[in-house]
Amino acid sequence: MAMRLVIPFALVSLLAQGAAKPASKLTADQRTAQSILKSLSLHDRVAQLVIGAYYGDVPSSRSKEFTQFRHWVKDLHIGGLIMVNRVQYGLARNAQPHATALFFNQMQKLSKTPLLIGADFERGSSMRVSDTIRYPFNMAFAAARDVDASRNEGLATAREARALGVQWVFAPVADVNNNPQNPVINIRSYGENPEEVAQHVAAYIDGAHSDPKNLVLVSAKHFPGHGDTTIDSHLDLARLDATRERMSQVELKPFQAAIEHQVDSIMTAHMTVPAIEPEEIPATVSARVLTGLLREELGFKGLVVTDAMDMAGLAKQFHTGEASVRALAAGADVLLMPHDPGVAIRAVLAAVEKGRLTRQRIDQSALRVLEAKVRVGLNKKKLVDLDALSDALASDEETERAQSLADRALTLVRNEGGVLPLAAPNQACLVVSAGVRLSSFGQRLADEFRKRAPQSRIAFVDNSLPLAALDAVIGDVSACSTVVFATFTTNPMLGGDLPAYLEKLSQGSAPVALVSFGNPYLLSGFPKVAGYLAAFSTATPSESSVVKALMGEIAITGHLPVTIPNFAQYGEGIQLPARSRSAPSAN
């Protein structure tokens, strides 16, 4: 077994290494990166490949958490940090912008080599940081058929990211979501049409690269395509059952577009790909996927970064050290969020000593990381201006653009009897399924609905309530002119007794309009509802958009970026004009 491992690893190293460029042909950035590389020990070169996790707080300098970060940065000399959310009660809690920037400055001051700070700002900085532009999810951009909006999102996200001290944006999502049962990609994708996904991916990259003063690295993910899977790789090993020919026509097209538009990095997926890799191992540790397919066939020259290494799709099969060695041997350059950065570094150093990895292989990836740092100017300026931060965040113009996009994304799939817009909002009943307790989902929806229809009945329900309790929460709905059932789930189906409750509602005398902020495929499970409106985004601007649409204040103009099996095809959408201002107010 040991010999079987050593041989492919050596071959991968030779294939990936390539011919060295003559010094005379190096760019100034490359010469700077090589100079930095020469100053680093083997340990520090390995450490440059490791990105540790930061959860958005500013811990006291006397705390165990701060001590850990100081150890990673000052002692281990890791290459960077990635910002992720702290989760409480099953919900993500966003960080404060000034606290975030302050912490990054603190870490940069401790760093021997400037840190590369990353964040998966898939829907702008608001995904992780409060008081920033709240963009809808990607699928809303495709529903609105607005590629220019994706370009603008890339530009605006780059500006906010750099102001916060983030230089590496782990976006855009390049997955083609053509599987209605996908529990993890869903509305994070631009849709099921590979050409359309490719257009948005390319536009986002172009936008993020368009301002030299706010240049960021971007990362297309999750290679070779996580859209046609039924398992969440955070929880287990996912699988892509597609032929190589189908992959060329679907999954790979957005990644090819990303490469053509000079994407800086590509993130791997923790899933098996039998058409490329016959072994039951994640793509993250497959040389056939990362070197054979990505490097050699598609010609990608940039950074290959793993998906988070603490995800079960990888961690269930390989412990931190072994996963780190295998990922680098397969062709990855950056180890993202290993459970213990120190363990990862020691394992890679041991692999070099034993011959499983070569020093040349380490240098190749370390040089890529250093070149990326120089490209975004970290060698010249690694601290951000805290005084200028507020002016760089959430401009009124960008906020209005995000709201307009959310408005135009709304897609009406069913409207039996003209149930929408609501004829008598004050006699309507609004049921908000926020998913879990303590969620903020639906608060703006309810507030704005109540402002317009103060006599309406509004109730919040969640997955934990049994059917009897759900009936009691809203009471008798027979007197309601319409029941609007709004759900924020991105899962393939509603949880708990909610499906039975919604089915019961749809069989009653009051027509039911189902509004899906998350999973756009829910109509398949509830064929008896009279109306179906999809927002493709759980972000708060979409809540405002839905209320305006329910009241007839805006036109509904979106088109489906996906097919809803047995109900609606890709591209469909009922076009509904705004209610005339001269029309009498319905009460």
Q: Is the pLDDT of residue 519 over 70?
A: yes
Going by the DSSP 8-state scheme, the letter that residue 526 receives in this structure is -
Q: Is the pLDDT of residue 247 over 90?
A: yes
Q: How many CB atoms lie within 10 A of CB 3?
A: 6
Q: Integer distance in angstroms from the first to the last C-alpha of the chain?
A: 76
Per the omega criterion (within 30 degrees of 0), is the bond before 541 cis?
no
Collapsed DSSP state (helix, strand, coil) of residue 582: coil
Collapsed DSSP state (helix, strand, coil) of residue 13: helix
Confidence tier at 95 by pLDDT (50, 70, 90)? confident
38 contacts: CB under 8 Å, gap ≥ 6 = none
User: Residues 333, 219: contact at Cβ < 8 Å?
Assistant: no
pTM > 0.75: yes
The residues with which 265 forms a beta bridge, in sequence order, are: 219, 303
Burial class (CB in 10 A: 0-12, 13-18, 19+), 41: exposed
Report the C-alpha gap between 259 and 370 in whole angstroms. 20
Q: Is the pLDDT of residue 582 over 90?
A: no
Residue from 416, 433, 412 nearest 512 by CA: 416
Q: In this structure, what token pair is assigned to residue 414?
A: 């069913």
pLDDT of residue 372: 98
Rounded to an integer, the average pLDDT of 539-561 is: 98
* Residues, the chain: 587
Mean pLDDT of the chain: 92
pLDDT of residue 22: 62
Collapsed DSSP state (helix, strand, coil) of residue 501: helix
Q: Is the pLDDT of residue 585 over 50?
A: no
pLDDT of residue 517: 97
Q: In this structure, what token pair is assigned to residue 295?
A: 């490097």
User: Residues 565, 521: contact at Cβ < 8 Å?
Assistant: yes
Report the C-alpha gap between 484 and 458 in whole angstroms. 9
Catalytic residue among 175, 264, 307, 497: 307
Catalytic residue among 71, 234, 339, 559: 234
Burial class (CB in 10 A: 0-12, 13-18, 19+), 533: buried
For residues 435 and 407, which has the higher predicted lDDT (pLDDT)? 407
Q: Is the pLDDT of residue 90 over 50?
A: no
Rounded to an integer, the average pLDDT of 79-99 is: 76
pLDDT of residue 438: 54
Q: Is the pLDDT of residue 10 over 60?
A: no
Rounded to an integer, the average pLDDT of 477-501 is: 93
* Domains of the chain as residue ranges with CATH: 49-76+86-377 (3.20.20.300), 399-550 (3.40.50.1700)
- Is 234 noted as a catalytic residue in this protein? yes
Following CA atoms 122, 126, 129, 133 in sequence, which dihedral angle do they give, to the nearest 10 degrees?
130
Q: Is the pLDDT of residue 13 over 50?
A: no
pLDDT of residue 436: 59
Rounded to an integer, the average pLDDT of 516-538 is: 96
- Is 363 noted as a catalytic residue in this protein? no
